[in-house]
Amino acid sequence: MSSYYDVSRYLDMTLEKVSMSKEPELRPTVSFQILLHNKSDRLVESDSVKYAIYFNLPKEDNNLEFKVVARGSILTKFLIDAGSSLPITLEVEIPHIRVLYLSKIIQSLIEGKLEIYAFFDQIPVPYQPPFSRDYILTHEYLPDFPISGMVCKFIEFRIPIEEWKVFAKRVENFFFGLKQN
């Protein structure tokens, strides 16, 4: 397995939008529209994205703490041109029971954090003779622009409780409709 270097000065991520599934579904989802920015002057190819969602949940002593609600990963193979941005959507499934539980214990604004690790396995680097790519890798020389990289980002988000309650009601109706059939 190759080493991944922090390439945040070349690549960045921003959260554009958070939305919940509009139609009742067997698997309720919260979608995160992420924008990947290539701030470098080179083409990059993505490898995969790993993520976790944390919600700020009440504890027994009336304090709050961030707890993981869902996590997952997607394999993404796409190219981002130099200086360009690319939108991707992370669709995170949250089990019915958890959606209903969260709507009972959270009474105000839903605060959360999205933790993302984006891996870039192929970041082309132009090499000039006499240094070949093999020579650089063998001698563990890291060029200015690494051959592989990772961007880690914690993005805070908020969901109005009213929107979550509407989402939870749709999930509840669908869930209990399945049980009756």
Domain-wise residue ranges, the chain: 5-174
Three-state DSSP class for 41?
A: coil
pLDDT at 126 over 70: no
Q: Which residue has the higher pLDDT, 123 or 129?
A: 123
Q: What is the pTM of this model?
A: 0.77
Residue in the block written with tokens 């709050």: 64
Residue in 88, 98, 89 with CA at minimum distance from that of residue 28: 98
Instruction: For residues 101 and 53, give the distance between their C-alpha atoms in angstroms, rounded to a whole number.
Output: 16
pLDDT at 135 over 70: no
CB 1 within 8 A of CB 150: no
pLDDT > 70 in the chain, percent: 80
pLDDT at 167 over 70: yes
Three-state DSSP class for 139?
A: coil
Q: What is the pLDDT of residue 153?
A: 92
Residue 103 makes CB contacts below 8 A (sequence gap 6+) with 164, 165, 168
pLDDT at 110 over 90: no
Instruction: For residues 97 and 171, give the distance between their C-alpha atoms in angstroms, rounded to a whole number.
Output: 9
CB 149 within 8 A of CB 142: no
DSSP3 helix / strand / coil % (the chain, rounded to 5):
20, 45, 35
β-strand partners of 113: 54, 156
Q: What is the pLDDT of residue 155?
A: 94
- CATH level 2 (architecture), domain 5-174: Sandwich (2.60)
Q: What is the pLDDT of residue 2?
A: 52
β-strand partners of 118: 49, 151
